[in-house]
Amino acid sequence: MIDWDPLVLTFKLAAITTGILLVIAVPLAYYLAYSRSKLKPILETLVSMPLVLPPTVLGFYLLVTFSPGHPIGRFIENELGIQLLFSFPGLVIGSVIYSLPFMVQPIQAGFAGLPHALKEASYVLGKSRFTTVIRVLLPNMKPALLSAVVLAFAHTVGEFGVVLMIGGNIPGRTRVASIAVYDEVEALNYDLANTYSLILFAITFLLLLLVYLFNGGYLKRLFHKMRT
């Protein structure tokens, strides 16, 4: 009989991660799209690292950083009272870092593709930078926002290496669907593994289909840019 907890936990994690990423990615993508700083290539490289870095490598460094033996992990646990290892908050932080480029890059491309006249006209009318971004730029880049949200959500749903390294396999707390599939395969419960896999496949397929139906051309250009 299927245990729905891993699926519920997976989509809860994906929803929270996507919401946090959207808040972080908009100002970061704005900076990357318009900045001429010499530090921009370094920042773009750091943001893009999860695209090419093995998930276990990222998970390992997060495991070390979040541990009580590390100054950062010790400060968070002792001063803030938050345990990040083998906990849901740790999964959220790991997922935010791991899925960051899937949210930032589409929004950055969206900002870069807007006519400069939009921003300049808003400033001429006396609008602040914040108002210009929220009321002028973002409403004119809905394809980019849709792609970013769907890609970040779907990518978080499919996580395995990072969440396993920092979250372990605790039922009801850190056992997400991808880990449940791995567990059932190891236990030779192929029927149950197939059920979990089909549910994840169907949901991610529908999400990407939605984007391609409404936003196919933009997504193809974005994937080409991310590969190059």
Reported as a single tens digit per residue, the pLDDT across 51-60 is: 999 999 999 9
Q: What does the pLDDT read at residue 125?
A: 87
The ranges of the chain with pLDDT < 50 are none
Q: What does the pLDDT read at residue 207?
A: 85
Q: Where residue 125 sits, what CATH number does that domain have?
A: 1.10.3720.10
Q: What does the pLDDT read at residue 217?
A: 60
Residue 66, CA distances (Å) to 60, 62, 83 in order? 10, 6, 8
Rounded Cα gap, residues 162 and 62, in angstroms: 8
**Domains: count for the chain:** 1
- Per-residue pLDDT of 152-183, as tens digits, reads 999 999 899 999 999 989 998 999 999 999 99
Q: Which domain holds residue 108?
A: 5-227
- Collapse the DSSP code of 217 into the 3-class scheme (helix H, G, I; strand E, B; otherwise coil) and give the result: helix
Q: What does the pLDDT read at residue 129?
A: 87
Q: What does the pLDDT read at residue 222?
A: 60
Q: What does the pLDDT read at residue 210?
A: 80
Q: What does the pLDDT read at residue 224?
A: 60
Q: What does the pLDDT read at residue 228?
A: 56
Residues near 104 by Cβ (< 8 Å), separated by ≥ 6? 25, 28, 29, 32, 47, 148
Q: What does the pLDDT read at residue 104?
A: 96
